[in-house]
Amino acid sequence: MSIRFAALSDTQNDVDDHTTSSKSDSEDYAEEDNNFEDWISDQAQFHPCRSLFDDKTFTTATEALNYDKSTHGFDLDTASKQWNLDPHRLIRLINFIRKHNATSTDVRNLTGAESFFTSDAYLLPVIEDDPLLQLDFNDDWSDEDEDEPSNEYNSEPPSDLPSALKRIQFLEKKLSRAQNDMLDYRKFVSENLNISAIADIVNDPDPVTDGPGAPRDDDTHYFQSYGYNDIHAVMLLDQVRTSSYASFILTNPILFRDAIVLDVGCGTGILSLFAAKSGAKHVYAVDASNIAEKAGKIVQQNGLENVITVIHGKVEEITLPDGVEHVDIIISEWMGYALLYESMLDSVLHARDRFLRPDGGVMAPSQCRLMLALCEGGEIMKDRVDFWSDVYGFDLSEMAHATYRDAVVDVVSPESVVSEPYLLKDLPLKSITPRQLEFTSAFTLVSTSLMRTKIHAFVLYFDTFFTTTGEPVPPSTSVRLIREGDLTLAEVWPIAGKPPPKRRASVGPGLKEREDKRVISFSTGPMSQATHWKQTLFLLKEPISAEEGTVVSGTFYCKKNENNSRELNVEIHYSVKKSEDVPVSEVVVQMYKVG
């Protein structure tokens, strides 16, 4: 790891040269100084540089900045001057954008007063040797703000003793300042980085597999957890989940007939069994956990071993047998708590890019929408926080503090939701990239409560859509809400020996067109029948006093946990105002872990 601050216009070498210079040394001053500055500029300008807002890489930092200005409408130089950013605040801005994958719109909505502008955590570079961190956009913040103009020392050597002494005095001040900056830098590094641990890792030629220097393993425990029966029973008994997948697969015979299907994370193989039943030519069921062994036996017990091939391994590492390079359909139940917990979607997208037929291949599901709303959450507070205040007559409230740091997965009633949901993130599976799974999204929620109430939480859930074309649904498409008692799985599959409802089979030339228009969907929100995903709640340390029309707006940050990529870090910045036309109050920031 390297940490770089914006380069000073004069350097330690300049000071050493001139404080002990002879007349000939002085004559070489301007040339040497300019050569060094040219070298610094070259280092920043001619090092490959990635755009702030997408994955494109350019030969120089200038090209990257020009691209961001023309394509994304954001001028870093202008923003630096507009917000009067010194070099350290500018570094924090660049690292903030890269760390949170902020969009240009998100950045343009900043005011320059956000908390990250003063946080030392954002001095650590997100990209090692990032050329943007080496550029100096604002000359007003350089060290050349002394009484003497900088041009005096960058043009020609001093011609007399007074000017030479003046230059020496100026450079001595700069040396002192540079030394102080180096002390501050060393202090910062020692306080924020465990140098001794890093040295141990670097110097250990053969780290033990389970020691502190061992390679990080985010997968073993995850895959082991899916080797047990209980977790699969929970998912299979989730009628909203299972019936939606079954409905899509079994009621679209034209799509699945004679198709090559890849089931990523097959578990017990239930989706593969559905696909085989719907007429698939062959199904490749892949799972990295030991459940794959049981799935293979299940396939044999159902007489489908000639149609379904179970592959035990990571989809990133396997090769499909029989020389198969592409599949027609990828099915997967990859969703986790808060949609993205467990990071299984990364594997599904890898499978898409590697195996899905590029001309008309279908992802199932085809789209997910991540939704956010205001939640009164009084019952959750009683169960998760207030409970600890009196346990058998003792005060155990210390235990409640973690509740505000860890997201709560639970079911809330429809009545507890006191705003319309806001679309926080749209995930079209056909085109989304792994980098976009870490995101920053602005939101605005308006209270719909007719009475004055206290809002104790934000509630997060997701809606899922299946289309036979793999294309996203129109924005106006509403998700299906399944109520308690609605027909679900029984519509397409016999349960406990009872046959599904008899229906006349659809035939005729218009069947394909009807299939293309059919959308299957389900919601994990409070308004629909509860699923095993429940909802994800972010409890507020200080509840929001709200009434009808109260506006809660802010920014939602989501990224993978640095210590375990299958967990999520969420940061919510929000402010409250009584109506749209009232000035924004103070910004509140809370951070959570999902996992």
CA atoms within 13 A on the CB side of 317: 6
333, 379, 438, 567: the active-site residue? 333
Provide the 3-class DSSP secondary structure of residue 262. strand
**Do the strands 260-264 and 282-287 form a parallel or antiparallel pair, or are they unpaired?**
parallel
In 3D, which of 562, 569, 575, 576 has the Cα closest to residue 407? Answer: 569
Q: How far apart are CA 521 and CA 93, in angstroms?
A: 40
How many Å from the N-terminal Cα to the C-terminal Cα in the chain? 28
Amino acid 276 reads: A
Q: How far apart are CA 583 and CA 581, in angstroms?
A: 7
342 given a catalytic annotation:
yes
Amino acid 13 reads: N
Q: Which residue has the tokens 């110097």?
A: 203
580 given a catalytic annotation:
no
| Distance (Å) of CA 191 to CA 93, 103, 364, 574 | 21, 31, 48, 30
Provide CB contacts within 8 A for 201, sequence distance 6+: 207, 212, 213
Q: Is residue 575 within 8 Å of 587, Cβ to Cβ? A: yes
Q: Is residue 279 within 8 Å of 313, Cβ to Cβ? A: no
How many other CB atoms sit within 10 Å of the CB of residue 82? 10
Provide the 3-class DSSP secondary structure of residue 413. coil
**Do the strands 535-546 and 408-410 form a parallel or antiparallel pair, or are they unpaired?**
antiparallel
Q: Is residue 283 within 8 Å of 263, Cβ to Cβ? A: yes
**Buried b or exposed e, range 372-411, using 16+ CB within 10 angstroms:** bbbbbbbebbeebbeebeeeeeeeeeeebeebbeebbbbe
* DSSP secondary structure, 322-383, as one string: TT---BSEEE----BTTBTTT-HHHHHHHHHHHHB-TTT-EEES-EEEEEEEEE--HHHHHH
Q: Is residue 515 within 8 Å of 254, Cβ to Cβ? A: yes
* Two structure tokens written together for 494: 């016999």
Give the single-character DSSP code of 491.
G
342, 379, 420, 567: the active-site residue? 342
Query: Which residues does the annotation mark as catalytic?
Result: 333, 342
